[in-house]
A = this chain, B = another copy of it.
Amino acid sequence: MKIDFIQVVEILGTATFAISGASMAMQKKLDAFGVLIISFVTSIGGGTVRDVIIGNTPVEWLRNERMITVILLSSIATLFFRKAITQLSKTLFLFDSLGLGLFTIVGLEKGLAMDFSPGICIALGTITGCFGGVLRDVLLNNVPVIFRKEIYASACIAGGALYFLLKAWQVESHLAQIICMMVIVVIRVLVVRYQLTLPSFHLKNDKHET
């Protein structure tokens, strides 16, 4: 039952990432192949960067038929039913947040399994959750949106830090994972609901330099 829940979240998260990639690619007027590639990169980019830098190769998606099928179907569905899909934006936003939480935990656990320090584990979780979007934005020739506007990565970092706190308090591992995922989802929802942003230190007084 617990495994089923994780699998469902993974499928929903992967599909949502793929849909978000496909939508942005279509806004940039890419052709069908471009849309497909951007879908894939958005969904699997974070895990790929993580696997490549920790040396976990062949990277995971090469052996994960289910994930590839989900991405393919999601991007094709977006190509044909984009209008209907974008009308589900609130549902998609929830799935996206769930996916972000799950992928963060997955990356963090991979780091723990290789005995990295807590800081590095949190970094690997954040990379897993966020770098698909970074690669998507680089390929679409944008400055990555998570570097500018959204407290997206910060939710991953907060959730990851909490995980180590909970472990220090001897909270059971599965429970800690679920709490962290939920915290990431809640932070993300609150951020978007109240339009919070990180400060962007761009020094309004640059002109007054002597």
Chain A residues in the interface with B (C-beta under 8 A): 25-35, 37-38, 48, 51-55, 57-59, 62-63, 65, 68, 79, 82-83, 114, 116-117, 119-120, 134, 138-144, 146-149, 151, 153-154, 197-203, 209
Contacts and interface: CB of A to CB of B under 8 A. Distances in A.
B33 A147 contact: yes
B153 A33 contact: yes
A18 to B, nearest CB: 15
Which 3 interchain pairs have the tightest Cβ spacing?
A: A55-B57, A34-B147, A31-B198
A85 to B, nearest CB: 12
Given A57-B54, A147-B37, A201 B26 contact: yes
Given A82-B201, A198-B31, A62 B120 contact: yes
A197 B34 CA distance: 12
Nearest to A58: B54
A116 B134 CA distance: 27
Given A29-B202, A154-B33, A200-B30, A144 B148 contact: no
Contact of A146 (B34, B68, B202): B34
Given A53-B52, A54-B57, A31 B199 contact: yes
Given A142-B141, A148-B30, A119 B68 contact: yes
A209 B83 contact: yes
Given A53-B48, A114-B58, A83 B30 contact: no
Given A33-B153, A52-B53, 5 more contacts: A26-B202, A29-B148, A31-B201, A37-B153, A68-B119
B138 A147 contact: no
B52 A52 contact: yes
Contact of A139 (B30, B68, B147): B147
A34 B31 CA distance: 29
A139 B148 contact: no
Contacts of A149: 31
